[in-house]
Amino acid sequence: MTAPVNVSDEERVLLDDADEWFDAHRQELVTELSDLVNIASVSDDSAPEPGSPYGVGVRAVFDHVLRRAADWGFRSTDFNGYAIDVRYPASDEGTEERWDNDIALVSHLDVVPEGDGWDWPAFEAFEKEGVVVGRGTADNKGAAIVDLFLLRFFNSRRHGFRHPLRVLLGGAEETTLGDMTYVVGNHGAPFQAVVTDSPFPVNNAQKGHLDVDVIIPAGPELSGFSAGVSYNSVPGHAAITLHGVNAGHVNEVLNTLDPELVRRIKVSGLGGGLDGSVELSATGITGHAAFPEGSLNAVWVLFETLDQAALLNGADATAGAALAEWLRTPYGDGTSIAYSDDVSGRTTQNAGIVRGQGDELVVHFDIRYAVTQSATSVLSELANHAERIGGRLGEVNDSSPYFVDADDPRIRQLLGSFDAVMGTHAKAISMGGGTHARVIPNAINFGPGFIRGYVEGATRAIASPPEFIAEGKGTPHGADEWVSIEDLKSAFLIYVLGITRLDRTLQVPVSGTTPLG
């Protein structure tokens, strides 16, 4: 491996051992990760049962990990199906009084729905060219496996910690964060949570997160419209059936429009003559709502086409024109909420689910607003745009921004550990994604994702997208999601160094803070 820098002799030996241990267990890690991915653990709280508040998929993946933890000799806890933990050391002898002084690596085992556009089955993982493909590989089952393998590595060395170490795995990170809200409210927060569900180097700021239903009038063509599978995923497919038109007329109109737009539209005649029906289907580029760069919302593609071609009438036309305008960029330019600051960057806006309900269309917006922007101003602009066409705001859920000062000693120490392994001079980063750090007091976000633009000048290699993954695919929440095993190894080594350093220096909290000695 690339020689780490600014490490002690003891740390160098530890990292050498970790490097060898990972390589010896590489194929086992691939197998364990694939087994997790093959469980379709989409969180669903629509029919909760005792011990299973998030549906059969989450319950199944929890049970699988609990069995594997027992096989590896670790104790574990099931928090009534909301979350589970796996604890190190394997024996609790002499540590009972110290579990209120723990370090918890926090991840999640729930995933977003499959979505559209996959070239392979989403829940049948496979390895090729050093990557594993499948839903949840990057977000966030790869991280969960790395966390669990860290416990195994430390156990193999009988490594001694000042603070007990555990892995805490949730079942509703992709939906409500109710998993860790439950754990914190009923069992208390970890002494120090390190959330392994973000990009490297260290994430110290997260934008505010608004989930907003905007309800607008619609006509008969949109009454049964449905697009999108998850609030926080960019829709990759959208389709509508138009009645009383024929495919020839529609194609003739489309031929007058921008070819770059029209190439993403497929027209299928469903009947003959003027009384027939035509389906228009749009193809976008899926992605994560918080990281929209490179994605393309298929709902916008469809309604921009319908609006330019004047293929809708009445309330349908008004609603369609509104969507074409509102969704023209993923940064809120069309709804007048565009905003940017130096701390967190640009506000993002995603219409992740759009559903017709009778004579109304419900547009669910996932908005990640900048740290210095107010939720009130965002909601005011959305309400103004909706009211102009006879609409209104529906359900609203707001999660305030997360921020830890970049000079916090914990941030500086974890950055130093990242730099030591990767050969960088990194700075803390902000992002639009929301993690469990929003609901766990005192939490820090630390990897394991490598996103180009966040990590520059590394001497240790970072994986490039594999050639067999089509352009525009492969992202978390997108089709053909993948993770690099070599990147997971880098994360493993960074965590080995970062967690052992954090363990040595964390002190007992004073006045609600966690200073370093």
Domain containing 310 — which CATH number? 3.30.70.360
pTM for this predicted structure: 0.84
Among the residue ranges 30-34, 455-459, 485-489, the one predicted with the least confidence is 455-459
Answer for the pair 200, 419: CB distance below 8 angstroms, yes or no: no
H helices, E strands: number in the chain? 12, 26
Strands 131-133 and 482-484: antiparallel
Query: What does the block give as tokens for 75?
Result: 């104790």
Does 49 score more than 90 pLDDT? Answer: yes
Residue 98 has a pLDDT of: 58
Which domain-ending residue is among 345, 377, 399?
A: 399
Residue 198 has a pLDDT of: 95
Could you tell me if 395 and 406 lie in one domain? no
Does 276 score more than 90 pLDDT? Answer: no
> What are the tens digits of pLDDT across the range 50-93?
999 999 999 999 999 999 999 999 999 999 999 999 999 855 55
Residue 94 binned pLDDT confidence (cut-offs 50, 70, 90): very low
Residue 271 has a pLDDT of: 57
Could you tell me if 104 and 166 lie in one domain? yes
Could you tell me if 136 and 30 lie in one domain? yes
CA angle 418, 419, 420 (to 5 degrees): 90
Biggest CA pair distance of the chain:
82
Q: Which of 13-27, 249-263, 267-281 ranks highest by mean pLDDT?
A: 13-27
Residue 100 has a pLDDT of: 79
Specify if 2 maps to a domain: no
Residue 273 binned pLDDT confidence (cut-offs 50, 70, 90): very low
Residue 515 binned pLDDT confidence (cut-offs 50, 70, 90): very low
Question: What percent of the chain has a predicted confidence (pLDDT) above 90?
Answer: 86
Average pLDDT score over residue span 82-107: 79
| Cβ neighbours of 452 (radius 10 Å) | 9
- DSSP conformational letter for 5: S
Specify if 324 maps to a domain: yes
Residue 453 has a pLDDT of: 74
Specify if 183 maps to a domain: yes
Specify if 510 maps to a domain: no
Residue 472 has a pLDDT of: 87
**Domains: count for the chain:** 2
Integer Cα distance of 327 and 331 in angstroms: 9
Answer for the pair 397, 184: CB distance below 8 angstroms, yes or no: no
Does 374 score more than 70 pLDDT? Answer: yes
E-assigned strand segments in 218-374: 226-227, 233-234, 237-243, 265-269, 277-283, 287-288, 340-341, 345-346, 348-357, 360-369
Integer Cα distance of 206 and 159 in angstroms: 34
Residue 1 has a pLDDT of: 58
Could you tell me if 434 and 500 lie in one domain? yes
Specify if 82 maps to a domain: yes
Among the residue ranges 68-82, 92-106, 120-134, 392-406, the one predicted with the least confidence is 92-106
Could you tell me if 127 and 213 lie in one domain? no
Residue 86 has a pLDDT of: 98
Residue 404 has a pLDDT of: 92
Could you tell me if 385 and 255 lie in one domain? yes
- DSSP conformational letter for 11: H
Specify if 514 maps to a domain: no
Tell which wins on pLDDT, 140 or 275: 140
Query: What does the block give as tokens for 420?
Result: 């030591």
Could you tell me if 221 and 183 lie in one domain? no
Average pLDDT score over residue span 136-164: 97
Query: What does the block give as tokens for 68?
Result: 């594997």
Specify if 513 maps to a domain: no
Question: What percent of the chain has a predicted confidence (pLDDT) above 70?
Answer: 95
Residue 456 has a pLDDT of: 81
Residue 93 has a pLDDT of: 52
Average predicted confidence (pLDDT) for the chain = 93
Average pLDDT score over residue span 110-122: 96
Sign of CA pseudo-dihedral 300, 301, 303, 309: positive
Could you tell me if 266 and 340 lie in one domain? yes
Q: Which domain holds residue 241?
A: 208-399
Could you tell me if 63 and 175 lie in one domain? yes
Does 451 score more than 90 pLDDT? Answer: no
- DSSP conformational letter for 3: P
Strand-pairing partners, residue 242, are 278
Residue 510 has a pLDDT of: 32
Residue 76 has a pLDDT of: 97
Which domain-ending residue is among 399, 419, 442?
A: 399
Residue 470 has a pLDDT of: 95
Average pLDDT score over residue span 431-442: 92
Does 495 score more than 90 pLDDT? Answer: yes
Residue 269 has a pLDDT of: 83
